[in-house]
Amino acid sequence: MKNRNFLVVFILLGLLSSCSSQKQSNKLKTVVGEVEAKEERPKYAMVIHAGAGTILKENMTEDNEYNYKRALYAALQAGEVILENGGTALLAVEVTIKYLEDIPLFNAGKGAVFTNAGINEMDASIMDGNTLNAGAVGGVTNIKHPISAAIKVMQNSDHVLLVGKGAEEFSAKQGLEIVDPEYFKTEHRWEALQKIKAKEKGTGAISSENPDFKFGTVGCVALDQFGNIVAGTSTGGMTNKRYNRIGDSPIIGAGTYANNNTCGVSCTGHGEFFIRYAVAHDVSAIMEYTGATVEEAANKVIMEKLVKAKGSGGLVALDKYGNITMTFNTAGMYRGYVKPGERYVGIYKDDQ
Ligand code: ASP
């Protein structure tokens, strides 16, 4: 009897110790897994977009396609130079977006779309995934690089979002370049406004759609060698907007979001939907709460939730391991990414 009791205790002890060594080895696996995953993280990664919409090959001239692609490659290169030389994601995002803001092809900075009153009102935002600090400006008309104004709000104010005259005054005091509002005007955007106004005439409708349903907002998300993720977005908003309408681009959680633990996101599309569905934050939240990958989370929001709601657009995002997704429910999206030894630019849905 005594011997039998001894045997039971012995077996129990054996079981317990095998459980705990199982736990230990699981723990070890997790640690090893994390280390491996971290080692797999590229030195840097960066993804950009320059708007989504009805962008079809049959409507694009060869010259235009070339110009768009060249601009996207050059923007990627501007950011990559910083990242590969050990610069921060914040600087890479600023330089890349400034580059895109200077190109009249895109709806941000020079080349921004016109409001109903015939002016250019711009919005921009930035978020730092390490500190969860953020900054944004809305409805600004004379700041050459709205993305830099958003960064100044993040770094040098107690606020997240400044709009209109106040944002302009703050930016001037911060020493940012202020330009004559005429600087932003371009012929093709002016024509687009006339086209939409002509369509609207006599119908009594108030429309703020782009006539050819092409957006052109620009955005960038970067991961640097320190593991920090930063996301930024800059736009002129939607053609023919009025009443100081502000879209999703300067709204943290709607058009832009970043969190080192999940991902960084920059959106483009019909802003009202992106605000209502808190799109950028939703992607991060889905990852955080369900363990979904960045691609799965983006698909859920853009291809399921927004499609159901009839909200058009897309987003670019990357996670802490440099996994990238460029997801859109429109015919096309100007987009691209870089990682060490990898470079991609695409426009249409089936661009590989
Ligand atoms: N999302 C922007 C807005 O609604 C437009 C765009 O992405 O082109 O203001």
- pLDDT tens sequence for the chain (352 residues): 444 554 444 444 444 444 344 433 333 333 333 344 344 899 999 999 999 988 888 888 999 999 999 999 999 999 999 999 999 999 999 999 999 999 999 999 999 999 999 999 999 999 999 999 999 999 999 999 999 999 999 999 999 999 999 999 999 999 999 999 999 999 999 999 999 899 887 665 555 554 445 678 999 999 999 999 999 999 999 999 999 999 999 999 999 999 999 999 999 999 999 999 999 999 999 999 999 999 999 999 999 999 999 999 999 999 999 999 999 999 999 999 999 999 999 999 988 7
- Shortest-distance atom of ligand 1 to CA 272: 4
- The order of strands in the sheet holding 256-258 is 256-258, 263-269, 313-319, 324-328
Centre of ligand 1 to C-alpha 194, Å, is 19
The verdict on whether 330 is a catalytic residue reads no
**Which residue's CA lies nearest to atom 8 of ligand 1?**
215
Mutate-to-test residue for ligand 1 from 105, 239, 248, 274, highest number of ligand atoms within 8 A of CB = 248
Centre of ligand 1 to C-alpha 267, Å, is 8
Centre of ligand 1 to C-alpha 6, Å, is 74
pLDDT at 19: 36
pLDDT at 214: 64
CB within 8 Å of 60: residues ≥ 6 apart: 347
Residues with CB under 6 A from ligand 1: 51, 107, 215-217, 235, 237-238, 247-249, 268-269, 271
Q: Which fold has domain 42-348?
A: Glutamine Phosphoribosylpyrophosphate, subunit 1, domain 1 (3.60.20)
Question: 153 to each of 171, 253, 325, 348, how far by Cα in Å?
Answer: 8, 17, 28, 35
- Say how far apart CA 137 and CA 123 lie, in whole Å: 6
CB within 8 Å of 53: residues ≥ 6 apart: 210, 212, 213, 214, 215, 216, 312, 330, 331, 332, 333
Radius of gyration of the chain (CA): 24
Among 217, 233, 235, 256, the one annotated catalytic? 217
Q: How many CB atoms lie within 10 A of CB 104?
A: 16
Are 336 and 76 spatial neighbours (Cβ–Cβ below 8 Å)? yes
Mutate-to-test residue for ligand 1 from 140, 238, 242, highest number of ligand atoms within 8 A of CB = 238
- Say how far apart CA 187 and CA 59 lie, in whole Å: 19
**Which residue's CA lies nearest to atom 9 of ligand 1?**
237
